[in-house]
Amino acid sequence: MKAIVHIGLKPGVLDPQGRAIARSLGDLGFSEVTGARQGKVIELDMKGNDAEKAKASVIEMCEKLLANTVIESYKIDIEA
């Protein structure tokens, strides 16, 4: 089983990386881009095949380690 964890900055938190990316794309002539945000994805290989249980334990991992919940929010997808 795989768990895909998407981690992004909470709305309102400054995203200097995203801003710099948007500006750089503009400089390269991609004027259709009006904004950018950068986040992380963590892909976990997991034993077992109980999706419910996996999700619960990934939530715990996010709270304990993977996400910095002070400024980041996360979303979990479990793939068989």
Partner 1 sequence: MKTAVIQFPAANCDRDAITALEKITGRESTLIWHRETEIPEDIDFVVVPGGFSYGDYLRCGAMAARSPIVNDLVKKANGGLPVAGFCNGFQILCEAGLLPGALLRNKNLKFVCKPQKLKITNGNTRFTSAYGGQQEVVYPVAHHDGNYYADDATLSKLEKSGRVLFKYVDNPNGSARDIAGICNEDGNVFGMMPHPERAVDPLHGGTDGINFFKSILESR
Partner 2 sequence: MSQDIEITKDIVAEHGLSKDEYKIILDRLGRTPNMNELGIFSVMWSEHCSYKSSRRHLGKFLTTGERVIQGPGENAGVIDIDDGDAIIFKMESHNHPSYIEPYQGAATGVGGIMRDVFTMGARPIALMNALRFGEPSHPKTKSLVDGVVAGIGGYGNCVGVPTVGGETNFHKGYNGNILVNAMCVGLASTDNVFYSAAKGVGNPIFYVGSKTGRDGIHGATMASAEFDDDSDEKRPTVQVGDPFTEKLLIEACLELMATDAIIAIQDMGAAGLTSSSVEMADKGGVGIELNLDHVPQREDGMTPYEMMLSESQERMLMVIQPGKEQLAFDIFEKWELDVAHIGETTDTGRLTLHHGGKIVCDIPVAPLADDAPNYDRPHKPTPKRDVLDAAHIALTDVNAGLLAMMGSPDIASRRWIWEQYDRHVMADTVDSSQSGGDAAIVRIHGKNKAVAITTDVTPRYCYADPYEGGKQCVVETWRNLTCVGADPIAITDCLNFGNPERPDIMGQFVGCIEGMNEACNALNYPVVSGNVSLYNETNGVAIPPTPAVGGVGLIPDLDFHTNLAGAKDGDVLLMIGENTGWIGSSLYLREVAHREEGAPPPVNLKMEKLHGDYVRRLIRNRRVNAVHDCSDGGLLVTATEMALAADIGFDLQRPAGSCAISGWYFGEDQARYLLAVDENSVNPILSTAEGLGIPATKIGTFGGKRLTSNDGLSLDIGKVRSTYEAWFPKLMES
- Residues near partner 2, by CB under 8 A: 9-10, 12-16, 20, 23, 68-71
Tell me which H or E stretch contains 71: none
Cβ proximity to partner 2, 70 vs 80, nearer residue: 70
Q: How far is the CB of 71 from partner 2 (least distance, A)?
A: 6
Q: How many CB atoms lie within 10 A of CB 11?
A: 8
Q: How far is the CB of 30 from a copy of itself (least distance, A)?
A: 6
**CA angle (8, 44, 69) in 5-degree steps:** 30
30 binds, among partner 2, partner 1, a copy of itself, none (CB under 5 to 8 A by kind): a copy of itself
Q: How many CB atoms lie within 10 A of CB 67?
A: 21
